[in-house]
Structure formats: structure tokens, C-alpha cells
Amino acid sequence: MPPTKPLTSAPSPPHAAGGSNAPLVELKAVHKRFIGTHALKGIDLTLNKGEIHAIVGENGAGKSTLIKILTGAHEKSSGTILWEGREIGLRSPQEALGLGINAVHQEVVLCPHLSVAANMFLGIEEQGYGLLRQRAMIQRAQATLDDLGFRLPAAAPLNSLTIGQQQLVAAARAAMRGTKLLIFDEPTAYLARGETDLLFSLIRRLKREGVTIVYISHRLEEIFELADRVSVLRDGQLVASRAIGETSQAQLIRDMVARSIEQVHHKEAIEKGELLLEVAGLSGPGFKNVSLTVRRGEIVGLYGLIGAGRSEFVQCLYGRQPKTAGRVSLRGTPVKISSEADAIRNGIVLVPESRRDQGLCLNLDVGFNLALPIFQRLSPMGLVQRGAERAAVEKQISDLAIATAGRHAQAFTLSGGNQQKIVIGKWLNHGADLFIFDEPTVGVDVGTKVQIYKIFAELLKKGAGIIMISSYLPEVYDLCDTLHVFRAGRQVAAYAAGEVGHDVILGDAIETQGSRR
Amino acid sequence: MSENTPSDQGYAPAPQKAKSKFEFLRGLTLLGLLLLIWIALSLATESFLTGQNMTNLMRQTSLWAIIAIGQTFVIITGGIDLSVGAIVGLSSTVVSILLKAGFPIWAAVAITMLIGPIVGAFHAFGILRMGLPPFIITLASMTGLRGIGLLLTDGLTITGLPDEFVNFSRESFLGIPALAWMALIVAIPAFMLLHHTRWGRYIYAVGSNAEAARLSGVSISRTIYLVYITSASCATFAGILTASRISIGVATTGESWELQSIAAAVIGGASLFGAVGNVLGPILGSLLLTTINNGANLLNINPFWQRIIAGALIVLIVWLDQMRRKKR
């Protein structure tokens, strides 16, 4: 490609400025606290001008919080942020945009109904006599897309493109706007390899033009292909920041998992009973050919990155999605589960991933939420027996030590941990014996975590079996009797408790060199 | 740089063509349905295809189209304006009162037109500052404004409006009724605003993904003010024209027109989920609704049946439209 004019209209050319050698961004002891969690614990991070700086870490290590602080979506709780040596507050997205900070998010944040060109020019439209210069904008957008080698039609509506193509549009759009710092948050999650190559050539070109790039990805080989430096986040702390030539995939994985494991993972020795669930070759939307068994008294863990197909698998098992192949047997008898009601009748219960969207009626009271699955039992003649309802609800509140002003308090007034206790508690009276927990301890404080793990032990002692999905490796590692690793919709490995180390499991879950076709 | 632009076997213009063809088709089917009904009515009745009836049809269509265009602006942002019928009633009484009080026509109309921006700004304020859903704040106006109109008139009918004012709606220019020209005067700037200015873009952007719009520096609040003021102003204008057409001021004028305007917008292809709609749609939608009423009258169909037919048609047309959208 012959030399081209710069893409971005960033004011100062890269190295021409000469004078200021200050890094573009410096974070000093930046903390971010949310209610109940300490997401960032004193981050010191330096982003040099014109470098591609990769950031890696497990789910929940604090990467998203860090991006949100850099883009002004969240404000830091304490610490200092320097921009070209000058202290800034970074309190709003507008302030970040004004400085030339743009981000391309994992999920495309554009207007699906507008055309590609309209999205690229949204907020910075070209006008003449108060009217839009539509043809000129389409031409310029098309020229930019062609120049980047993206074969995308500028005049087409955005929602006629694939998600991967939309992601490329988002990248081109960010590049077109005066950018000095461009953050890519797992941009390749939905891209095909050809699209990834296009994106990489765009990123390299922006680097040549002096733009600083922050690149977040779980795909370590991409990081070694692209980045100049790589920083590792673990449990809200920056554990290492190295030049790419001085590290290796193995070292990065070790950095990501070597942690101070708090002794919260309560696990009791419980004898395994008979076979409860047997799944053979189950396929459905988002996952393929999954086989596993659950015995009474056993916790089976499903580990993988977000989007690996774990949730899709349990949703199918629970009857929310139709299966395309495979067999499911419960207590030795083949069963056909084609709806949630089927699953519940068969003694399967799902405690969903999002308690706000899927688990609770937030603006109804605690008592209502706890009684919701058993109203049928509480209303033998069609009328709800209020005394029985109150007794059942009060028993759960005291058994689970739910901290609430009472059973009439609305669910949204409770803390995340106590909300989660309601979501779990409402199934405990139901008589199910296979419990599926999808990310049961996300956003839950340590004390409640221990209580939840104790509930697990109680369930197991009563002869239940548990399937637990978690993206937090130490949790599934310590609690599960069998651990299945998922990647890209497939079951890639299975280990008995303690059979291998954290690094092997993380390596299975992440696409490392050789594991990718 | 030039070599990789044109003849690459990229799929560049294809989706765009498919889309515009599709849009054209939808317009066509609605037009096709209209033509079908018109042909059927011309054959079934002697009076349908007469100059008198056609003029009547155009007059009523124009009033509804003006309101439906404003409604479409609101619907594209994902909102709804239930107050337009009440605004028609209020503005028709206010203009009548002012005329009876001896104001010259231009002044009476100008003062009455202030209702639009005031009511529209109130709606936007309620939505943005008080956090009320559009449905609720405009529902409140729908009953409240009706009450103001009844208070102002004591529930009585205002008669004896100046001839010049009343005659306006009966006049024609170049063979086309004055009211239809008024609809055109609303439709053309509305078209330019919606499809050829950045404000039009922002209306779609807010309806499509308000968060993306905000992150792009689009002012959501200005956009919301713009659409609700536009809708209320269209309704005010239609109210004044309605007073001229029926030559009296009655506070209950325009009852249930809010539903007609929503129906017209949706029949015309607007989506209540936002970001879909155009200016031609509500005009065709109004024409269809008026034709159904007019035809049913001419055929002597029980007016109670007319309502049932109109309801069934709304379900049918919007369902067909959604099926077609899904296939794409």
C-alpha cells in the first residue's frame, strides 16, 4: 500500500513534538471501590506514546473497571491520573473524548438502524446550509473503509452487517475521530481470522501514526503478535508490566493465576452416591457434543471464559433452548426436557447468572420472591394460604440469615449477597435434587460466599447433585469434584479435583498457541 | 490507493439496493392496498369517485396526516404522544375564543400556535427532568388539556366564527383543497428535517441506541425537546384547521385522534420500538384510515362495524410488515 494520509486527525504528529517525553498516561495508586467490592487496588500503570500496550487477566481481575476509568465511564475512588504529565480528573465520557480517548468495546455500541456512514459520522456530521451532505459523508466513509481494506458498504444499514463487520466499523469510526489513546476491549471475540488481520493492520497503522493503543484480549498469541508491552492484572492489582520480548505465554499464565487464595472455599468430604444425571453428546445453540455425569453428593464444575458455551449448555439442559443432538438421563431413565416447567418437574433447578434480570422480581417483596416457585403448593384450592406462605418464607429468611428489614421489604433494597440468597433460597423448599448454579458468587462479598458454599454442602448431604458454572478459577478448582473446561462452545478437557494445576486449566480455557486451528 | 477501490469483488452496494427496493415495496403494498380499496369502492358505490367526495377525503386525510407526522417523530425516538387529540381540542377552542374576542385572524392563529411549544416542552421536561415515561406524561396532558378546554368554554360550543376563517378550509388552490396544501406545508419541512439534517439523524440515533448517541456527543435532551415540540405543534396547527373546517369551537374536538395518529404512523411503517419510520408513511396511513371510514359510510356499513374493521386492519398490516422485515 502506498503511503497514505493519516487516518486520525489527532492534533500533534507522533514524534515530531520531540519536546515532551512524558508518557501519554500515568496511573498512580488508582483505587476503585464499589459497594461490597474493591475492584482496583492501587494500580500503577504507564502508557507510553505510540505503544501497543496489552492488558491481560482473568475474568474479574479488574480489566473492565480499568477501561471504564480510562474512558471516564466510572470515576476513580482515589489516586492520580496524569495525561502528558498533567493531572486530570477523568470524570465524564465527554472529558475523555475531549482529550482524544476512544474505545472499541467488546459489544458494539453503535446505532444498528443507521447506515455505516451515519454511524461513522454520528455527532460530527458534515453539513452545508444546515442540511446534511449525505453523499459526501458516504464517499468519505467509503474512502476510509476502502483505504483500510475493509470491504464494507458505507451506505448499508449497520444491522445488515455481521457482528464482526460491525466491530470493524466501530474500529474505523474510532480511528477516524481525533484519537490519541484508543482502547480495544476484546475486539476479536466475534471476528473471523480474516477480519482479525484487517483489524491488526489498522492497529499497526494507528501506532505508526503515533496513537497509543491499549489492547485487551484473552488470546495470548494475539498479544505476542501485536503488543510492545504487556501488563497483568490479578484480583484488582497490577502484578507485572513487561516488554513483550522479556516474557512468554507460560509466564503470563503463571502471573494471572498465582494468587493469594483466601480460605473461603468451604468444602466438606461428602460421599458420592448413585448416578443422578447423565448427558451424552448433547448439542444445541452455542455448544457442541457435551458429555458429563453428576452423582448425588458431587459438585461438577464448568469452567471457561465468558462466551465459551457453558451457560448455553445449562440453558439447554434446563429446557430453555432446544437440543439438536444428544441424550439426557435422570436417575437412570432417559428424559425429554423441552421447557423450564419440564425441568422443574423433573427435579432440576437453575439459579441463573443474572439475578437482576433472570432471578428476581426486584420491585416485589422478599416474601413474594421466596414463595414464587411454591405458590402451587401454597394454594391447594386456588387460594393462597397466607399462613403457610408466611411460615415458609420466614423459615427461609431465618435459615439463610437473609439480612432484610422483613419479608415485606422490596428485593432491590437488599445487598447483592442477600439478593443471591433469595435466588438460591426460593428453590430449597422445592424438593429438587439437581441444582445448577450459574456464576453463584459474582458480586457477592466474602462472608456471603462462605454461606453459599455451606448451603452447597447441605444440599449435597441431602443427596442432591450440583453443576456449578464459574469464571473464577480458584472457586471451581477448590469446590468441584470434577471440572470440565469449555472453550468456544466445546468441552475441551475434564479433570478430577486436584488432578492438574491452575495453569493447565487456564491454558485449556484460553486459546494458546497450538490450541487454535 | 486507487487500485483497491472499485472492481474488488466486494459486496459493496448490494445490501443498500436490497434495502431501498424493500422500502419501495412496502410503500407500494400500502399504495396497492389503497388502490385496491379505491377501485372496489368506485365499483361498489356511485358516490365514491365524485369530486365532492374526493375533496372531502383529502380534507380529512390532511388533518390526520399533519398530526400523524408529528406523532411519527416521537415514535422514531421510541416514545409516544397521547396528548395530540386533546391538543386539537384545546387549540380549536382557544382560536375560536380569540376570534370571537375580536382578534384579527393572523393574531389569533399566532397566539394559539404557542400551545404547541409550551405543551411539547412540558412533555420533554417531564420525561427528562422528572423521569416520567412518555406514555404517562402525555396521558396526563390528554386528560388535563381536555379539562382546560372544557373550563374555558364552560362545556359550550363556540359559534359564529368569522367567514374568512371558516371559508379557508373550503377553498381550493389549483384544484387541490387548501387543507391538503397545509398538509404539504407541514410534510415538506418535516421531510427535510428528518432526512436531511443532523437533527433528523439524531432522532433516529436516539431511537436506535440512546447510549451510542450519547457517547457520540449527541444531545439526547435537545432531541427529545425537538420531537415533542414538533408533535404538539403539528397537533395545534391541525386543531386550528379543524376549527375552520367544522366552523365551531368545541372542547371535545379530536377525541381519540391520538389513536388515529398512532395507527396511521404504525400502518405507515413506523416501529413503536423506535428508529424506524419516515414522513411518507403517516400520510399514506392517514389516507388508508380515512378511506376506510369514508367507504364504510358510503356503503352504509354500521359505524360500529367500522371500528372493528379498522382494528382488524391495523393488526393485519403491521403483522404483514413485521413478517416482511423478519424475512430480510
**B299 has a chain A CB within 8 A of its CB:** no
Q: Which residues of A touch B201 (CB under 8 A)?
A: 114, 118, 122, 125, 132
Under 8 Å between Cβ of A25 and A47: yes
Q: Are A113 and B214 an interchain contact pair (Cβ–Cβ within 8 Å)?
A: no
Res. B109 pLDDT band, cuts 50 70 90: very high
Cell numbers that stand for A241 in this block: 508490566
pLDDT at B6: 34
Q: Which of B192, B198, B204 sits opposite A113 (nearest CB)?
A: B204
Q: Are A155 and B8 an interchain contact pair (Cβ–Cβ within 8 Å)?
A: no
pLDDT under 70: residue ranges of chain A: 1-20, 35-37, 59-60, 258-264, 415, 443-447, 511-517
pLDDT tens-digit map of A412-449: 777 677 788 888 888 887 778 889 988 887 766 666 77
Q: Are A118 and B4 an interchain contact pair (Cβ–Cβ within 8 Å)?
A: no
Res. B16 pLDDT band, cuts 50 70 90: very low
pLDDT at A20: 57
Going by the DSSP 8-state scheme, the letter that residue A157 receives in this structure is: B
Q: Which residues of A touch B4 (CB under 8 A)?
A: 146, 149
* Residue in chain A nearest B15 by alpha carbon: A156
Q: Which of B10, B19, B216 sits opposite A122 (nearest CB)?
A: B216
**For residues A482 and A182, what is the distance between their CA atoms, to the nearest angstrom?**
41
Res. B203 pLDDT band, cuts 50 70 90: very high
pLDDT at B126 over 70: yes
**For residues A459 and A427, what is the distance between their CA atoms, to the nearest angstrom?**
11
pLDDT at B21 over 70: no
pLDDT at B287 over 50: yes
Q: Are A111 and B12 an interchain contact pair (Cβ–Cβ within 8 Å)?
A: no
Q: Are A111 and B275 an interchain contact pair (Cβ–Cβ within 8 Å)?
A: yes
pLDDT at B328 over 70: no
Give exposure, B273-311, as e/b (b: 16+ Cβ within 10 Å): ebbbbbbbbbbbbbbbbbbbbbbbeeeeeeeeebeeebe
**For residues A186 and A216, what is the distance between their CA atoms, to the nearest angstrom?**
5
pLDDT at A15: 44
Dihedral in degrees, nearest 10, Cα atoms A109, A114, A120, A121: -120
Q: Which of B204, B216, B276 sits opposite A123 (nearest CB)?
A: B216
* Residue in chain B nearest A1 by alpha carbon: B1
Quickly list DSSP for A415-433: -HHHHHHHHHHHHHTTT--
Q: State mean pLDDT over B226-251.
A: 94
Q: Which of A109, A111, A153 sits opposite B11 (nearest CB)?
A: A153
Question: Which CATH number, 3.40.50, 1.10.3470, 2.60.120, 3.40.630, labels domain B51-327?
Answer: 1.10.3470
Q: Say what the ipTM of the complex is.
A: 0.77
A160/chain B closest Cα distance in angstroms: 7
Q: Which residues pair with B172 in a beta bridge?
A: B177
* Residue in chain A nearest B220 by alpha carbon: A123
Cell numbers that stand for B94 in this block: 382557544
* Residue in chain A nearest B5 by alpha carbon: A146
Within B4-114, residue ranges assigned H as helices are 14-44, 51-76, 84-100, 105-113
Q: Are A114 and B217 an interchain contact pair (Cβ–Cβ within 8 Å)?
A: no
Q: Which of A97, A114, A152 sits opposite B204 (nearest CB)?
A: A114
pLDDT at A35: 66
**B6 has a chain A CB within 8 A of its CB:** no
Compute how many other C-beta atoms are within 10 angstroms of the C-beta atom of residue A309: 23
Distance, first Cα to last Cα, chain B: 34
Going by the DSSP 8-state scheme, the letter that residue A159 receives in this structure is: G
**What is the distance, to the nearest Å, from the Cα of residue A62 to the centroid of all Cα atoms in its chain?**
11
Give the architecture (CATH level 2) of A25-257.
3-Layer(aba) Sandwich (3.40)
Give exposure, A330-359, as e/b (b: 16+ Cβ within 10 Å): beeeeeebeeeeebbebbbbbbbbebeeeb
Q: Are A131 and B197 an interchain contact pair (Cβ–Cβ within 8 Å)?
A: yes
Given this chain, do its domains A25-257 and A261-347+431-517 carry the same CATH topology? Answer: yes
B324/chain A closest Cα distance in angstroms: 15
User: Taking CB atoms and an 8 Å cut-off, how many pairs form between chains A and B?
Assistant: 95
**For residues A411 and A393, what is the distance between their CA atoms, to the nearest angstrom?**
13
**For residues B224 and B206, what is the distance between their CA atoms, to the nearest angstrom?**
9
Q: Which of A122, A143, A157 sits opposite B218 (nearest CB)?
A: A122
Which superfamily does CATH assign the domain made up of A261-347+431-517 to?
P-loop containing nucleotide triphosphate hydrolases (3.40.50.300)
**For residues B172 and A144, what is the distance between their CA atoms, to the nearest angstrom?**
52
Going by the DSSP 8-state scheme, the letter that residue A305 receives in this structure is: -
pLDDT at B123 over 90: yes
Smallest CA-to-CA distance from B40 within B234, B248, B294 is with B294
pLDDT at A8: 60
Q: Which of B16, B205, B208 sits opposite A155 (nearest CB)?
A: B16
Q: State mean pLDDT over B193-212.
A: 90
Q: Which residues of A touch B16 (CB under 8 A)?
A: 115, 153, 155-156
pLDDT at A320: 86
Q: Which residues of B touch A105 (CB under 8 A)?
A: none
**For residues B297 and A306, what is the distance between their CA atoms, to the nearest angstrom?**
62
Res. B1 pLDDT band, cuts 50 70 90: very low
Q: State mean pLDDT over B29-48.
A: 87
Within A229-383, residue ranges assigned H as helices are 249-257, 310-317, 340-345, 366-371, 375-378
Ordered by start, the domain boundaries in chain A are 25-257, 261-347+431-517, 364-425
Q: Are B4 and A146 an interchain contact pair (Cβ–Cβ within 8 Å)?
A: yes
